[in-house]
Structure 1
Amino acid sequence: MASYLVTYTDGSEQHIPADSVFRDVDYPQYVFHDDDHNTIALAPSTGVLSIVRMPETPSVKAVTG
Structure 2
Amino acid sequence: MHCFTKILIDGALTSVWTDYKFYLGEKFSHCGVNPFQLVKGDKGWQIVYLIDTRRKTGCK
TM-score, with length taken from structure 1: 0.29
The structure, 1 or 2, with the larger RCO (C-alpha pairs under 8 Å, 6+ apart) is 1
Greater strand fraction, Structure 1 or Structure 2: 2
